[in-house]
Amino acid sequence: MKARLALRFRRFLAIFNARNREFLRDRSTLGWNIILPVVLVVGLGFIFSSSDKPMFKVAVVHQAESIEAIDLDFLDTRYVQFFSVPDVESQMPKVARHQVDMLLDLSDPRSPHYWINDTSPRGYVLEKMLPEGNYQREIVTGREVRYVDWLVPGVLGMNMMFSCLFGVGYVIVRYRKSGFLKRLNATPLAAIEFLAAQIVSRLWLVMAITIAVFVGTDLFLDFMMNGSWLLLLLITVLGAISMIALGLMLAARVTSEELAGGLLNLVTWPMMILSGVWFSLEGTPQIVQWASVLFPLTHMLDGARAVMIDGAGIVDVFDHLLILLAMTVAFLVIGAMSFRWKED
Interface residues with other proteins (CB under 8 A) are 7, 10-11, 13-15, 17-19, 21-22, 25-26, 175, 178-180, 182-189, 341-342
For residue 176, give the nearest of 251, 245, 264 by alpha carbon: 251
Supply the minimum distance, in Å, between the C-beta of residue 187 and other proteins: 4
- By beta-carbon proximity to other proteins, the closer residue of 14 and 233 is 14
Cα separation, 208 vs 210, in Å, equals 6
Cα separation, 33 vs 45, in Å, equals 19
Supply the minimum distance, in Å, between the C-beta of residue 257 and other proteins: 13
Supply the minimum distance, in Å, between the C-beta of residue 205 and other proteins: 14
Supply the minimum distance, in Å, between the C-beta of residue 200 and other proteins: 16
- By beta-carbon proximity to other proteins, the closer residue of 104 and 173 is 173
What angle is formed at CA 30 by the lines to CA 24 and CA 36, rounded to 5 degrees?
A: 160
First and final CA of the chain: distance in angstroms?
A: 34
Cα separation, 55 vs 248, in Å, equals 41
Longest dimension (CA), the chain: 82
- By beta-carbon proximity to other proteins, the closer residue of 11 and 97 is 11
Q: How far lies 35's CA from each of 76, 222, 227, 236, in Å?
A: 44, 19, 27, 20
- By beta-carbon proximity to other proteins, the closer residue of 10 and 143 is 10
Supply the minimum distance, in Å, between the C-beta of residue 342 and other proteins: 7
Helix axes 296-310, 257-274, angle to 10 degrees: 40
Rg (CA), the chain: 24
- By beta-carbon proximity to other proteins, the closer residue of 114 and 175 is 175
- By beta-carbon proximity to other proteins, the closer residue of 68 and 344 is 344
Supply the minimum distance, in Å, between the C-beta of residue 232 and other proteins: 33
- By beta-carbon proximity to other proteins, the closer residue of 101 and 193 is 193
Task: Indicate left, alpha or beta for 140 from its phi (over 0: left) and psi (-120 to 50: alpha).
Answer: beta
CB contact at 8 A, 126 and 101: yes
Supply the minimum distance, in Å, between the C-beta of residue 22 and other proteins: 5
Cα separation, 139 vs 158, in Å, equals 36
For residue 138, give the nearest of 118, 117, 115, 122 by alpha carbon: 115
